Amino acid sequence: MSQTTKGPRPYLNPYLGGTLLGIVLFLSFYVTGGGLGASAAISRVQTGLLDLVAPAHVDRVAYFASQAGGDRSAWLHYSIYMAVGTLLGGFVSGLFNRRVKLEVRRGPRVSVAARLLLALLGGAIMGYGARLARGCTSGQALSGGATLSVGSWAFAFAVFAGGYAVAYFFRKLWT
Amino acid sequence: MAPFELPQSGTVAYALVFLVIGMGFGAALEVSGFGDTRKLAAQFYLTEMTVLKVMFTGIVVAAVLIFASSAFGLLDLSRVYVNETYLWPGIVGGLIMGVGFVIGGFCPGTSVVAASTLKLDGIFFLVGAGVGVWAFGETVGGFQPFFLSSSMGRFMVPELFGLSAGMTVVLLVAMALLMFWGAELSEAYFGRKEEWARMRKLPRDPRKLAAAGALLGLAALTALKGDPTPDATWHRMPLAVRQLVDDRAVFVHPAEVVALRQDLNLKVEVLDVRDERDFNLFHLGGSKRLTAAEASSPDLLRRLLAQPATTVTFLVGNGEKEALEAWKRLKAQGVGNLYVIEGGLNRWLELYRVAECVAQPAPGKPVGEDGMAWNFAYAVGERMPASWPELPVSHRFRSPCEPLHADGGAGHHGFTWPTYEYPKKVKLQRAVAVKGGCG
């Protein structure tokens, strides 16, 4: 494809993109025995940072202690390596397709400030839910879905159900 | 898992493996447009179904590849991590995430990709997610019972529906294809605002149809091939595991079993693979009989897999052969800390004898083989001291006939089993180090 414009290249056909994703997911299972994920890394970065400022608190709260209690390190964990890879892979792909650009993507009727605030809020809700569900969309729905875990399928449908249930009330954000 | 081992945890090579997989993950999400929040949010307004298409294509392609390679012996499914089911926490967490998705416009994985291409909203979302996971860590202590509720362990859809894994994958592909068809219709109707009456409703793109056919075909082939039998799986176990049998590392001397049964830090379970008659004649104290039906039932497997790492399970037969077969079958399915009692009960009875009037060596029956090598006068079950050599009371007992060691009067004897020398073979292993995507 000859590209003369400097704009971002179009995204890949979703079915092709999904196939790529499926192959990566399969290879992950084939090589490591486990699937893909992102929220564990977020959790570990958070615990790791908390461990820097309040190590005693980390040791006292069971959930944090399981990741970084005592002389355990929150950082030396496969999920962190994978997250660094995800950042790199996304960046390289974005660079190649001319999509690396400091910007804010938002719905047509939303101000930048509101979008950023809502991203922060949505992220917090998402982070909380992801830990409660023991995994995010990638770690549960994608990885558990591919290995036919009953809980992961229930989870995946719950995410869509939750989204559709409230989508109407937030329509001004996106349409 | 592949027939090769992952580099040791903590090495650079180990980190690199995950880094490279992560790169593939990030790139696949990015080229699909998952760094753009508008594309993601559009899913919930039915105008663009990219999320559904990419996610379910990913799931289905991976599922077909995983179960096809398992059926054709390229992958050992028992060593693949399957997210454990905690039904209600998962559903409630999923509902919360659905709300977060609509408000924040990302899920954790996609926000990482958005951040990597410098989308400021993705970076803010990530920071928010950090706050969310922190809040969870601080509060989970308050609702621990719910967080741990409805735990069903490794529970897969084929078990739920009583289907073979291959058949489930066929149905899964069919369901995904139907969803994709619906997604295309939805995009045309809600997204491009085409008129329903004039819309082209049936998919015609030959490439899409070919891809769908290929996926369905591979799934059907998997179903036809059938789930791998434990026997086939055993033959594909890594050489090191099969070597355990040749090296006799799985056969544990009876005296070591006795010593382990004395260890209060361990739970020692003995599963007896013999038939009911032999079991009734004599068995080890507290042992359970394992029928052929039970041995191949998912319930037993689930129970054995869920045992804590301080449990040692022994299989025992009259000789070694039958128990070894059961051992291979269970080992192939990932059960750890599993051993066979050396020489079976025939040998056990040589070392820990019962009174002569109760059982005598059967002439012409070799000890090393299956089949009872002892003639019992009557069934004693586990009522003989030989069933419990680890108990101090077994060292002082009233013989039902002539005293075993004629040292005077009948009644309670000071009696000790001989001390046997044995090579220590039981090594406690932690549960197989399979890990989760989001653990």
* pLDDT digits 0-9 by tens, A26-60: 999 999 888 998 888 999 999 999 998 988 898 88
Binary contact (B208, A15; C-beta < 8 A): yes
Band (B358; pLDDT cuts 50, 70, 90)? confident
Window A:20-49, CB contacts with B under 8 Å: 20-43, 45-47, 49
- Residue B2: closest CA among B74, B70, B78: B74
Binary contact (A86, B22; C-beta < 8 A): yes
Checking if the pLDDT of B195 tops 70, the result is yes
Q: Are B361 and B354 in contact (CB under 8 A)?
A: no
Binary contact (B21, A40; C-beta < 8 A): no
Which tokens go with A124?
A: 């917090």
Q: Is B427 helix (H, G, I), strand (E, B) or coil?
A: coil
| Most distant CA atoms of chain A, gap in Å | 59
pLDDT at B3: 54
Binary contact (B438, A21; C-beta < 8 A): no
In this prediction, residues B153-182 reach a mean pLDDT of 92
Residues of B in contact with A171 (CB under 8 A): 45
Band (B435; pLDDT cuts 50, 70, 90)? very low
In this prediction, residues B70-92 reach a mean pLDDT of 88
The beta-carbon neighbor of A136 closest among B23, B59, B108 is: B108
Checking if the pLDDT of B292 tops 80, the result is no
pLDDT at B432: 45
Checking if the pLDDT of A2 tops 50, the result is no
Q: Are A149 and A139 in contact (CB under 8 A)?
A: no
User: How far A2 CA sits from the closest chain B CA (Å)?
Assistant: 18
More confident residue, B241 or A104: A104
pLDDT at B436: 42
User: How far B298 CA sits from the closest chain A CA (Å)?
Assistant: 15
DSSP strand pairing (B251-252 vs B85-86): unpaired
In this prediction, residues A155-165 reach a mean pLDDT of 95
Window A:112-171, CB contacts with B under 8 Å: 115-167, 170-171
Binary contact (B437, A131; C-beta < 8 A): no
Band (B407; pLDDT cuts 50, 70, 90)? low
The total number of residues written for chain A in this structure:
175
The beta-carbon neighbor of A126 closest among B37, B57, B129 is: B129
- Residue A40: closest CA among B51, B83, B141, B39: B83
How many CB pairs below 8 A link A and B? 594
Checking if the pLDDT of B9 tops 80, the result is no
**Measured between CB atoms, does A174 come within 8 Å of chain B?**
yes
- Residue A93: closest CA among B55, B116, B59: B116
Taking residue B51's Cβ as centre, other Cβ atoms within 10 Å add up to 26
Q: Are B133 and A39 in contact (CB under 8 A)?
A: yes
Q: Which of B59, B118, B187 is the best residue to mutate to test the A interface, defined by the most A CB atoms within 10 Å of its own CB? A: B59
**Measured between CB atoms, does A97 come within 8 Å of chain B?**
yes
In angstroms, rounded to a whole number, what is the distance separating the alpha carbons of residues B397 and B411? 7
Q: Are B175 and B168 in contact (CB under 8 A)?
A: no
**Measured between CB atoms, does A107 come within 8 Å of chain B?**
yes
The beta-carbon neighbor of A146 closest among B52, B66, B89 is: B66
Checking if the pLDDT of B254 tops 60, the result is yes
Which tokens go with B133?
A: 């996971």
In angstroms, rounded to a whole number, what is the distance separating the alpha carbons of residues B23 and B304? 37
Checking if the pLDDT of B301 tops 50, the result is yes
Match 């994978």 to its residue by tokens. A82
pLDDT at B326: 86
Q: Which residue of A has its CA nearest to B57?
A: A18
Burial of B242 (0-12, 13-18, 19+ CB in 10 A): middle
From its phi and psi, is residue A126 left (phi > 0), alpha (psi between -120 and 50) or beta? alpha
In angstroms, rounded to a whole number, what is the distance separating the alpha carbons of residues A125 and B100? 5
Binary contact (B104, A161; C-beta < 8 A): no
Binary contact (A26, B66; C-beta < 8 A): yes
Q: Which residues of A78-94 are buried (b: 16+ CB within 10 A; e: fewer)?
A: bbbbbbbbbbbbbbbbb
pLDDT at A131: 93
Which tokens go with A118?
A: 């809502």
Q: Are A152 and B90 in contact (CB under 8 A)?
A: yes
Q: Are B136 and A131 in contact (CB under 8 A)?
A: yes
Band (B312; pLDDT cuts 50, 70, 90)? very high
Residues of B in contact with A106 (CB under 8 A): 37-38, 121
Binary contact (A86, B122; C-beta < 8 A): no
Checking if the pLDDT of A122 tops 90, the result is yes
pLDDT at B119: 94
Which tokens go with A23?
A: 């192959």
Q: Taking the model in full, what pTM does it have?
A: 0.79
CA distances, A144 to each of A150, B62, B85, B156, B198 (Å): 8, 11, 9, 9, 40
In angstroms, rounded to a whole number, what is the distance separating the alpha carbons of residues B359 and B348? 13
Checking if the pLDDT of B22 tops 60, the result is yes
> Sign of torsion, CA A156 A157 A158 A161?
positive
Binary contact (A121, B17; C-beta < 8 A): no
More confident residue, B439 or B152: B152
In angstroms, rounded to a whole number, what is the distance separating the alpha carbons of residues A55 and A50? 7
Checking if the pLDDT of B371 tops 90, the result is no
User: How far B293 CA sits from the closest chain A CA (Å)?
Assistant: 25
**Measured between CB atoms, does A87 come within 8 Å of chain B?**
yes
pLDDT at B412: 53
Q: Is the ipTM of this complex over 0.85?
A: yes
> Which range is least confidently modeled, B33-37, B243-247, B319-323, B368-372?
B368-372
Those residues whose C-beta lies under 8 Å from the C-beta of residue B417, and which sit 6 or more positions away, are B351, B352, B389, B394, B395
User: How far A145 CA sits from the closest chain B CA (Å)?
Assistant: 6
Q: Which of B5, B11, B16, B25 is the best residue to mutate to test the A interface, defined by the most A CB atoms within 10 Å of its own CB? A: B25
Residues of A in contact with B22 (CB under 8 A): 36, 81-89
In angstroms, rounded to a whole number, what is the distance separating the alpha carbons of residues A19 and A39? 22
In angstroms, rounded to a whole number, what is the distance separating the alpha carbons of residues B396 and B414? 5
Binary contact (B26, A120; C-beta < 8 A): no
Q: Which residue of B has its CA nearest to A146?
A: B63
In this prediction, residues B213-217 reach a mean pLDDT of 94
The beta-carbon neighbor of B50 closest among A14, A158, A159 is: A14
